[in-house]
Amino acid sequence: MYLNALNILTKYWGHTSFRGSQEAIISSVLDNKDVLALMPTGGGKSICFQIPAMAKEGICIVVSPLVALIQDQVSALKEKSIKAIGLTGSIRENQLIDLLDNCVFGNYKFLYLSPERLQQEIVRNRILEMNVNLIAIDEAHCISQWGHDFRPSYLECNILRELKPKVPILALTATASKKVSEEIIENLTLQSVKIFKDSFARHNISYQVIHTENKYSILQHQLKKLKGSAIVYVRNRRASKTLSTHLNAIGISAAFYHGGMQQIEKKEQLDAWISGKKPVMVATNAFGMGIDKANVQVVIHYQLPNNIENYFQEAGRAGRDGSKALAILLTNEEDKFAGKKQFVDNLPTSKLVKEVYKKLNNHLQIAYGDGFGEIYQLNFGEFCTKYNFNKGTTFEVFKILDQNSIISLSHNLKVKTTLMFTATKEQLFNYFTKNPNTENIIKTTLRTYGGLFDFETKINLDLIVRKTGSTYNLIHKTFENLQVQGLAEFAFGNEDLEITYLVPREDDNTINTITKKLEQLNQLKSDKFNAVLDYISNTTICRSQQLLLYFDEVSSKDCGICDVCLSKSLTNISPKTYKKSILDLLIKKPLSSKEIIELTGFSRDRILQIIRELLEDELITIDEKNQYVRK
């Protein structure tokens, strides 16, 4: 007999009612139906599998892509005295056996694991022995090659249908087009599936696009008036640390976060933000999934995202408590050019894939027709240097080969080596005076890379080898010793790869089988970025309506609070209101007309007209820097 789902919700989660489609999804799962649930960020997806799992006897298997997400949900369940296990990190075999035995015999309710774990025979065998009541596939869009976040390991999820054919599967995602939804259903072999889609509309979020050549000024203005928390998204790791450093220097307390940080540092930065000690988080898109913080008042995209799916999910982390919130995207012409270069122009072509694959075969000395089932070690940096390949693009080619089952690639590669000197120049001089064999290495590195005393900087050890004539090992040892003595921060990107050949070497013939798919995927990625460009160039359609339409949801009502809707309503604003807004800004500091336009969001012509009137009325004046000053 099922326990009452609402009673479970109230007892363990403290809520007295369900939201959106939660109740209908739970009811379908309890009736042993396969379900695909499309719910927006913050829509309460986890409740949809946690409640029915609690209501039925047995254990729920939850597949999730992120270790941090697994750890957070397992910890939250344990705090509620609900027995849960997460298979994360490197677990010794005897410990893994104990944990799996607990799932079989220990009356546990939840087993969280990554899709990679499903490749382990011991995990599969133990799942066969478990009394599984539900299979939940979180972030299910990762299973689709046409999605924005395809992960080949997610294709392993269909083994759960084979292992437990009578157990219902619940697939959940916050972002999926019709094509992606169809692929989720097909790959998971969902039977007579029931599809639920909640509205993606977020009525409390004001979506705004600000075109400006001075992003930093807008960013400061928004963050200085911040009362809750904020997330600032940037495009790369270096920018996350650099921008947070600048913000801290002007009194805006900011943490930073990116995928290349050590776990302990990630935890420190995250804790500082969650606790409110540092209200602002500057991060790459590695941050946010599974982070449950309700009072995020503003999400600012400092650079263009690569697709609408990521943007919508990241912007949706604002206002999860229902309060009014802002989602601001800062952009300019240079940003559009850089985004196109990064996201479109550098997509690997089939010609490049063929070239990299052929050079890889030659480098590993694999004869034509050989290689099948063999495992090879590869120094990635050495390979790229030898053939003058760009590391970023080449690694994308390797991932394509991996995704198409031509090779199996170990995913432990950290492609960036970084260095920052924490010593003074005098301390460095004293160091290489005592260690003369390091002088050329240190001086050459300083001449090659700017900002080494201020920022964590990506360096190329192969380049330093060529410039200095020193050995790779000596250079590596030099930077390691500097770190040990507290004179530098050095993070070495291990560039050793393990590659397993899944098909024999056949050069062009091998790549020809995936050429059409590769062209389609490149076109898809290009289309997705063009959708971002369409979004920022729009000046007539409500932003919320535009975003909803992208996800096949039609809304006839304008949101009334985005920048497009507000610009339409500005025609009704009285000159007195305009003047007050400008004068209020000038109380704080002198501003140029350009800065006033950017900070108010009012039209250029209207602002210049009001400024002329304020000058005529002698309420403002112009200083020697051509800035307007309030009298």
Q: In this structure, are 125 and 192 located in the same domain?
A: yes
Task: Tell me whether residue 333 is exposed, middle or buried, using C-beta atoms within 10 angstroms of its C-beta: 0 to 12, 13 to 18, 19 or more.
Answer: exposed
Number of domains present in the structure of the chain: 5
N-terminal to C-terminal alpha carbon distance within the chain? 76
Q: Classify residue 262: in a domain, yes or no.
A: yes
Q: Classify residue 536: in a domain, yes or no.
A: no
Q: In this structure, are 407 and 424 located in the same domain?
A: no
- Render pLDDT for 422-445 as a digit per residue (tens, 0 to 9): 888 888 888 988 888 899 999 999
What is the domain range of residue 511? Answer: 346-414+496-525
Q: In this structure, are 171 and 59 located in the same domain?
A: yes
pLDDT of residue 391: 80
Rounded to two decimals, the pTM is 0.72
Q: Classify residue 117: in a domain, yes or no.
A: yes
Higher pLDDT, 382 or 300: 300
Q: In this structure, are 210 and 145 located in the same domain?
A: no
Instruction: Work out the angle at residue 73's Cα, subtended by the Cα atoms of residues 326 and 138, and round it to the nearest 5 degrees.
Output: 75
Q: Classify residue 568: in a domain, yes or no.
A: no
Asked whether the predicted pLDDT for residue 521 surpasses 50, the reply is yes
Q: In this structure, are 322 and 392 located in the same domain?
A: no
Average pLDDT over residues 59-68: 87
pLDDT of residue 596: 84
User: pLDDT tier at 290 (50, 70, 90 boundaries)?
Assistant: low
By mean pLDDT, which of 84-88, 273-277, 591-595 is the weakest?
591-595
Asked whether the predicted pLDDT for residue 10 surpasses 80, the reply is yes
Domain end point (choices 150, 176, 197): 197
Domain end point (choices 197, 223, 256): 197
Neighbours of 621 (CB within 10 A): 13
For residue 306, what are the contacts with CB-CB under 8 A and spacing of at least 6?
A: 148, 339, 342, 343, 525, 528, 529, 532
Q: In this structure, are 426 and 472 located in the same domain?
A: yes
Average pLDDT over residues 113-134: 91
Q: Classify residue 160: in a domain, yes or no.
A: yes
Phi/psi of residue 369, nearest 5 degrees? 90, -10
The residue behind tokens 């960013």 is: 219
Q: In this structure, are 189 and 288 located in the same domain?
A: no
Strands 417-421 and 488-491: antiparallel
Asked whether the predicted pLDDT for residue 111 surpasses 90, the reply is yes
Q: Classify residue 166: in a domain, yes or no.
A: yes
pLDDT of residue 1: 34
pLDDT of residue 572: 61
The enclosing domain of 607 has a CATH number of: 1.10.10.10
Contact in structure between 499 and 378 (CB atoms under 8 Å) = yes
Contact in structure between 5 and 140 (CB atoms under 8 Å) = no
Q: In this structure, are 306 and 287 located in the same domain?
A: yes
Gap between the Cα atoms of 142 and 289, Å rounded: 13
Alpha carbon of 341 to those of 239, 394, 526: distances in Å? 17, 16, 11
- Render pLDDT for 162-217 as a digit per residue (tens, 0 to 9): 999 999 999 999 877 788 899 999 999 999 999 999 888 899 999 999 988 889 98
Contact in structure between 142 and 109 (CB atoms under 8 Å) = no
% of the chain beyond a pLDDT of 70: 95
- Render pLDDT for 152-162 as a digit per residue (tens, 0 to 9): 778 889 999 99
- Give the bridge partners for 417, in sequence order: 459
User: pLDDT tier at 2 (50, 70, 90 boundaries)?
Assistant: very low
Higher pLDDT, 405 or 534: 534
Helix (H) or strand (E) holding 425: helix 425-434
Q: Classify residue 93: in a domain, yes or no.
A: yes
User: pLDDT tier at 321 (50, 70, 90 boundaries)?
Assistant: confident
- Give the bridge partners for 136, in sequence order: 62, 170
Asked whether the predicted pLDDT for residue 113 surpasses 80, the reply is yes
Under DSSP, is residue 367 helix (H, G, I), strand (E, B) or coil? coil
Q: What is the residue-wise DSSP string for 494-557?
A: --EEEEEESS---THHHHHTTHHHHHHHHHHHHHHHHHHHHHHH--SS-HHHHHHHHTT----S
Q: In this structure, are 183 and 301 located in the same domain?
A: no
Q: Buried b vs exposed e over 249-262: b needs ≥16 C-beta within 10 Å?
A: eeebebbbbbebbe
pLDDT of residue 573: 67
Average pLDDT, the chain: 87
Q: In this structure, are 112 and 40 located in the same domain?
A: yes
For residue 135, what are the contacts with CB-CB under 8 A and spacing of at least 6?
A: 60, 61, 63, 160, 161, 164, 167, 168, 169, 170
Average pLDDT over residues 259-277: 85
Alpha carbon of 114 to those of 78, 119, 136, 218, 546: distances in Å? 19, 10, 12, 40, 34
- Render pLDDT for 398-417 as a digit per residue (tens, 0 to 9): 988 987 889 887 655 445 67
Gap between the Cα atoms of 380 and 589, Å rounded: 52
- The overall longest dimension of the chain from CA atoms, in Å, is 85
Instruction: Work out the angle at residue 566's Cα, subtended by the Cα atoms of residues 565 and 569, and round it to the nearest 5 degrees.
Output: 95
Higher pLDDT, 420 or 492: 420
Q: In this structure, are 171 and 214 located in the same domain?
A: no
- Render pLDDT for 356-375 as a digit per residue (tens, 0 to 9): 999 999 999 999 999 888 88
Q: Which amino acid appears at position 317 of this protein?
A: R
Neighbours of 6 (CB within 10 A): 15
User: pLDDT tier at 110 (50, 70, 90 boundaries)?
Assistant: very high
Contact in structure between 90 and 75 (CB atoms under 8 Å) = no
Average pLDDT over residues 125-144: 93
The pair of structure tokens assigned to 122 is 């011991």
Q: Classify residue 617: in a domain, yes or no.
A: yes
Under DSSP, is residue 206 helix (H, G, I), strand (E, B) or coil? strand
Q: In this structure, are 330 and 241 located in the same domain?
A: yes
pLDDT of residue 543: 95
Best mean pLDDT range from 354-368, 438-452, 568-582:
354-368
pLDDT of residue 600: 75
The pair of structure tokens assigned to 328 is 């601001």
CA-CA-CA-CA dihedral for 24, 26, 28, 31, to nearest 10: -140
The enclosing domain of 246 has a CATH number of: 3.40.50.300
